[in-house]
Structure 1
Amino acid sequence: MCRFSSLGDVILASSLLNPLYEKGITVDFLTFKPFGDLYRKDYRLNRVIEIDKKDLKSLKDIKNLTNNLKNNNYDYFLDIHSNLRTILLSKFLGVKTYRYKKNSIKRRLFLYKPFRNVLKDNKFNVVKAYLEILKNLNIIDLDKYRPELILLDEDFKGLDFLDKKNVVVLGTGARYKNKMYPYFSDLARILIDFKYTVVLLGSEEDKKLDKNIYPSEVIDLRGKLSLRQSLAVIQKATGTISNDSAIAHMSRAVKTPVLMIYGATHPYFGFYPFKDEGDYIIKNIECQPCDLHGKKSCKYEKQICLEISPEKIFHKFTDMLDRLSHKNITKYKERLMVK
C-alpha cells in the first residue's frame, strides 16, 4: 500500500487499515519521511517502509526502490496516490495493482462556475475513493470505515495538565494563506468566555505566519510537539476547529469532532468530514473555490470567502458538539493503548 504525501492524505490512508486487517491481509505501507511515524507500532501493519523524498527523484531511484521491494514478494500494490511516481513504481514492481481514482477532471471543472450546478450533487469524498479499491479484494460493507490512527501510552506523557479540562484545539495553519481563517484570536476569546481551554496546534511555520494576538489564557503548542504528541492532545480535546488542513484530519483519525473552515477550497474536492466525524462551514460565494489547493492569489483586497464571524463559527461548533454529544470512540479506545 502506498501513499507518499502529504500529511493529511497519509492520515486519511489509515481508513484502509481496519478492513484489510479484518480480512487477514498482510500490509506493508510505503510513505515518505517523516509520515511513517504516524504508524509506529501499528498492529494492523506488517511494516512501514519510510523513504526520503530526495531519494526518489529520478527513474533510476524508482527502479532501485522497486528492486528492493521485489524481495518482499508482494501479491498486490494498492496505489492510493496515483501520480507518475507511483504509476512507474507499480509498473516496475510488476504485480497486480489497484489504483485510487482521483476524480481530477471533475474537481478541476468545479473551479469554473458554469460546471458547478451540474457537478454539485455528485460530491466526491477522498476516503470513499480510497476504500473503493478494496472491493477488488472482495472487501465489502465499506461505508462504516473511517480514518483511524493508533496512539501509544508514551504519546500522552507530559499532557496531564490537560486532564479534566474542556479543551478545544484550534488548527490555525494551512499550506496557503487563502485557506487560513484570520479571526482565530477572536474565536479563542469567545471560547474562553464559555469556559473552554484553548490549545493552538501546528508547526513553527504556522505560528510565524499567524498575525493574531491571542489572550494570555491560550496554550500555544505550535512547533513544540511531535506529530504523535499533537494527536494525543487532540484525542484529549472536546473538539477541534481547523482550516482545511492536516489538523482537521488528525482530529478525524482520533475520533475528536472537528469543524472545518473553508476558504479558497471547497468540500467538493473531497476532504470534508463525514457527519459522524464533524461538520464544516463555508460561505459558498460566487468565486469559491478559486483554486484546487488554495494557493492562487485572491482577486480581492482581503479574502471574502474567509469573512465569517467568529460568533457564527462558535455557534456552528457548539451545534456540532450537541449533535455528537458523545464521541463514538468505544471501539477506538479498545485499540488505542498498545503496550
Structure 2
Amino acid sequence: MIRFSSLGDVILASSLLDPLYNLDIKVDFLTFKPFGEIFKEDYRLNKLIEVDKKELKTLSQIKSFANNLKKENYDYILDIHSNLRTFSISLFSRIKTIRYKKNSIKRRLFLYKPFRKFLINQNFNVLFAYLETLKLFGEKNYKKYRPRLILHSDDFKGVNNLPKNFVVIGSGARYKNKIYPYFNKVSQILLENGFNVVLVGSKDDKNLDRNVYPKEVIDLRGELSLRQSMAVISKAVGSISNDSAVAHLSRAVQTPVLMIYGATHPYFGFAPLEDEGDFIIKNLSCQPCDLHGRKECKFKSLYCLNIEPSLVVNKFLKILTKFNISS
C-alpha cells in the first residue's frame, strides 16, 4: 500500500488496515518519513517502509526503488496516492496496481464558481474513495470502516497528568489561509463553560500564533511527539481544529471533532463524517479559493475565517450533545 503524504492523508489511509487484516491480506505500507511513526508496532502491518522524499526525487531513483519492490514478489500495489511518483513506481515495477479514484478534475473545477452548482450535490469523500478499493478484494460493506490508529502504554508517558474534561485545540495548519485566528477567544468561552483547554501542534504552530491565551490554557505545542499528541487527543472530550492533521488524528483515535474551514471546502473530501464530528464554514462565494489553501487571499482579508468564536463553541457543544458528552 502506498500513501506518501501528507500526514492527514496517511492517517485516513489507516481505514484500510482493519478490513485488509480481517481478509488475511498481508500489507506492507510505504510512506515518507516521519509519517510512519503513527504506525509504530501496528499488528495490522507486515512491514512499514519509510523513505525520505529525497530518495525518490529523480526518475532514476524511482526506477531503482521500483526494481527493488519487484524483487519482493508483491501480488498488488494498492496506490492510494495516485500521483506521478506512484504511477512511475507501478510502471517500473510492473506490479499489478489497484488505484483509488482521486476525483481531481472535479475538485479543481469546484474552485471556479460557474461549475459549483453542477458539482455541489456530487458528494465526494476521500475516506470512502480509499475504502472503495476494497471492493476488488471482495469487501462489500466497506463504508463501515473508519481511520483507526493504535496507541500503546508508552505513548501516554508524560501526558497522564492532564486535567479531566479537557478540549484539544489544533491551532496550526500548513498554510495561513486555513488558520482560524480566534482560538484564544474560543478557549476563553470553553473555560467559562467548565472545560479545560489543551493546545497541541508543532513548535512552528506556536511561533506563528500571535494570540494571547488565558493563563489556564495548557500549551503543549512543540513539546510532544506525534504519538504523544495522539495520546493527548484520545483522552480529550473533543477537539476543535483547522482543516489539518489534528482533525484527522482526532478521527483516528475516536475523539469527536469540529473542523473549521477557511480557504478550502468540504467538497474536497476531508470533512469528518457524521459519526466522527462536524464542520463549520462561512460558505462565501469565494470559497474555496485553492485546493490546498496555499493561494494568497485576493481580498487580503481572509473573510472566510471571520467566524464568531461563540458560533464555533456552540457548534462544538452540539457535537458533544450528539455524542452524549457533557462538561
Using structure 2 for the length normalisation, give the TM-score: 0.98
Alignment of 1:256-275 (within 5 A): 256-275=255-274
Partner in structure 2 of residue 174 of structure 1: 173
Counterpart of 1:210, as a letter, is D
1:164-207 deviation per Cα after TM superposition (whole angstroms, max 9, x unaligned): x1110001001111110000000000011112111111111111
Q: Distance in 2 between matches of 1:124 and 1:177?
A: 25
Partner in structure 1 of residue 26 of structure 2: 26
1:225-254 deviation per Cα after TM superposition (whole angstroms, max 9, x unaligned): 111000000000000000000100000000
Q: Distance in 2 between matches of 1:104 and 1:63?
A: 25
The offset of 1:104, in angstroms, is 0.6
Q: Distance in 1 between matches of 2:60 and 2:223?
A: 38
Identity across aligned pairs (percent)?
Answer: 64
Counterpart of 2:218, as a letter, is I
Change beyond 3 A, Cα 1:326–1:315: closer
1:14-69 deviation per Cα after TM superposition (whole angstroms, max 9, x unaligned): 01001101111000000000011110110100010001111111111112212222
Q: Distance in 2 between matches of 1:139 and 1:96?
A: 19
Partner in structure 2 of residue 332 of structure 1: none
Partner in structure 2 of residue 35 of structure 1: 35
Q: Distance in 1 between matches of 2:91 and 2:269?
A: 27
The offset of 1:144, in angstroms, is 0.6
Q: Distance in 2 between matches of 1:28 and 1:299?
A: 44
Q: Distance in 2 between matches of 1:10 and 1:262?
A: 20
Partner in structure 1 of residue 197 of structure 2: 198
Alignment of 1:3-22 (within 5 A): 3-22=3-22
Is the Cα–Cα contact under 8 Å of residues 174 and 244 in structure 2 kept in the other structure? yes
Partner in structure 2 of residue 79 of structure 1: 79
Q: CA RMSD in A?
A: 1.1
Partner in structure 2 of residue 242 of structure 1: 241
Alignment of 1:182-193 (within 5 A): 182-193=181-192
Is the counterpart of residue 277 in structure 1 residue 276 in structure 2? yes
- What 5-or-longer segments of structure 1 have no aligned partner? 328-339
Alignment of 1:50-199 (within 5 A): 50-162=50-162, 165-199=164-198
Q: Distance in 2 between matches of 1:301 and 1:77?
A: 44
Q: Distance in 1 between matches of 2:305 and 2:325?
A: 30
Counterpart of 1:19, as a letter, is P
The count of residues paired between Structure 1 and Structure 2 equals: 326
Alignment of 1:295-306 (within 5 A): 295-306=294-305
The offset of 1:70, in angstroms, is 2.2
Q: Distance in 2 between matches of 1:70 and 1:289?
A: 41
The offset of 1:141, in angstroms, is 0.2
The offset of 1:309, in angstroms, is 0.5
Q: Distance in 1 between matches of 2:200 and 2:153?
A: 20
Change beyond 3 A, Cα 1:96–1:326: farther
The offset of 1:301, in angstroms, is 3.6
Q: Give the match's secondary structure for 2:146.
A: coil
Q: Distance in 2 between matches of 1:80 and 1:151?
A: 24
1:77-100 deviation per Cα after TM superposition (whole angstroms, max 9, x unaligned): 000000000001011121210001
Is the counterpart of residue 252 in structure 1 residue 254 in structure 2? no
Is 92-101 or 280-289 further displaced after alignment? 92-101
The offset of 1:326, in angstroms, is 5.7
Q: Distance in 2 between matches of 1:300 and 1:280?
A: 24
Q: Distance in 1 between matches of 2:301 and 2:136?
A: 47
Is 61-70 or 227-236 further displaced after alignment? 61-70
Q: Give the match's secondary structure for 1:64.
A: helix
Q: Distance in 2 between matches of 1:9 and 1:40?
A: 17
Q: Distance in 2 between matches of 1:282 and 1:218?
A: 25
Q: Give the match's secondary structure for 2:144.
A: coil
Q: Distance in 1 between matches of 2:39 and 2:320?
A: 28
Partner in structure 2 of residue 315 of structure 1: 314
Partner in structure 2 of residue 210 of structure 1: 209
Q: Give the match's secondary structure for 2:223.
A: coil
Partner in structure 1 of residue 219 of structure 2: 220
Q: Distance in 2 between matches of 1:70 and 1:37?
A: 25
Is 44-53 or 130-139 further displaced after alignment? 130-139
1:94-132 deviation per Cα after TM superposition (whole angstroms, max 9, x unaligned): 121000111011001111111111101112100000011
